[in-house]
Amino acid sequence: MTVVREAFGARLSRAVARRGPLCAGVDPHPELLRAWGLTPDARGLETFALSATEALAEHVAILKPQSAFFEAYGSKGVAVLERVLEHARQAGTLVLLDVKRGDIGSTMVAYAQAYLGDGSPLAADAITVSPYLGFGALEPALTLAEATGRGVFVLARTSNPEGESLQRADSGGRTVAQSVVDEAAARNAGVEPLGGVGLVVGATIEPGGLDLTGLNGPILAPGFGAQGAEATDLAPLFGDSLPNVLAASSRGLLRQGPDPAALRAAVLRTQDELKHVLR
């Protein structure tokens, strides 16, 4: 396995400068497999995931496989996920593995080793984590990510309605979501060009709910594309933090398959939209 040492923020900044801020998802949802004319089983999963990775990876800065759709097929699905990680590395793209892990003590240590540890077959360049057992419980992942040059994206303000009451609850005069932002900002303080502790902030939430100005880290914005958010929605939501936003699109791109040329064309169209907004 490749040993990573350069800081994730530096590697991400360079990749985005070269390929743009689009984060392409690989979500092998059964409906998508059927739309591609594939059976929703391990064989269909393999064809879908590897074809999507081959078509998308070399054109985007970061690829985001959704781990749950691989895990649903047991050991065969996890083996496919390992191959996706390897193919993405060979294409020169970073991989953000969407696992949303969050636990305490030795369990969190084990999760960190599985996804962020040198030598693990599931190690990615970054992972998503949940802070809602306490931000401090993420310490094993934060520490190991920093030591190995990897990153973490912490769920802060998600667009699902079930998260509203928790994330917007008061936490000492600020919302719980803002407290997550502030904790991440403290970890990124003074890091150049960008810290390795990112946030997940839904692209479909109402603007004005978070102060992201001091984050000094990347922001993953899911909901762009098929879930309704458009490139023009990003500026009012993220303001001065817009240069650090990774707009995530999964099904909006994948529905253009299985033709590889159509998938690549969708990526290029989306990148053009994002470039226009960033200008």
Phi, psi at 218, each rounded to 5°: -75, 155
* Tokens representing residue 128 in the block: 């998503």
Strands (DSSP E) contained in 93-221 are 94-101, 126-129, 151-157, 197-201, 219-221
Q: Is residue 79 part of a domain?
A: yes
Which pLDDT does position 196 carry in this prediction? Answer: 98
Of the ranges 16-20, 120-124, 195-199, 222-226, which one carries the lowest mean pLDDT score? 222-226
Report yes or no on 68 lying in a domain.
yes
Residues 6+ apart with CB under 8 A from 168: 175, 176, 177, 209
Domain that residue 196 falls in: 8-278
Residue 178 maps to a domain: yes
Rounded CA-CA distance 1/204 in Å is 37
Contact between 162 and 141 (Cβ < 8 Å)? no
Indicate left, alpha or beta for 173 from its phi (over 0: left) and psi (-120 to 50: alpha).
Answer: left
Residue 120, in any domain of the structure: yes
Q: Which of 24, 3, 76 is nearest to 249 (CA)?
A: 24
**Is 70 exceeded by the pLDDT of residue 277?**
yes
Q: How many domains does the chain have?
A: 1
Residue 2 has pLDDT above 60, yes or no: no
Residue 132 domain-assigned (yes or no): yes
At 51 the pLDDT is 98
pLDDT for 4:
55
Task: Tell me what the pLDDT averaged over the chain comes to.
Answer: 94
pLDDT in tens, 99-113: 999 999 999 999 999
First and final CA of the chain: distance in angstroms?
Answer: 38
How does residue 223 score in pLDDT terms, banded at 50, 70 and 90? confident
pLDDT given for residue 224 in this prediction? 75
**In the predicted model, is pLDDT for residue 230 greater than 90?**
no
Burial of 213 (0-12, 13-18, 19+ CB in 10 A): exposed
Residues 8-64 have pLDDT tens digits of 999 999 999 999 999 999 999 999 999 999 999 999 999 999 999 999 999 999 999
In-domain check, residue 3? no
pLDDT for the residue 6: 94
Q: Tell me if 83 sits within 8 A of 114, measured CB to CB.
A: no
Q: pLDDT tens-digit profile of 135-154?
A: 999 999 999 999 999 999 99
- pLDDT tens-digit readout, 181-203: 999 999 999 999 999 999 999 98
pLDDT bucket at 275, cuts 50 / 70 / 90: confident
User: The CATH number of the domain where 140 resides is what?
Assistant: 3.20.20.70
Query: What is the mean pLDDT of the segment spanning 106-129?
Result: 98
Two structure tokens written together for 226: 């098929």
**DSSP for residue 119:** T
Any domain includes 2: no
Cα-Cα-Cα-Cα torsion 195, 10, 53, 87, nearest 10 degrees, comes to: -120
For residue 225, pLDDT beyond 70: no
Residues known to be catalytic: 100
Q: Is residue 187 part of a domain?
A: yes
Average pLDDT over residues 163-170: 91
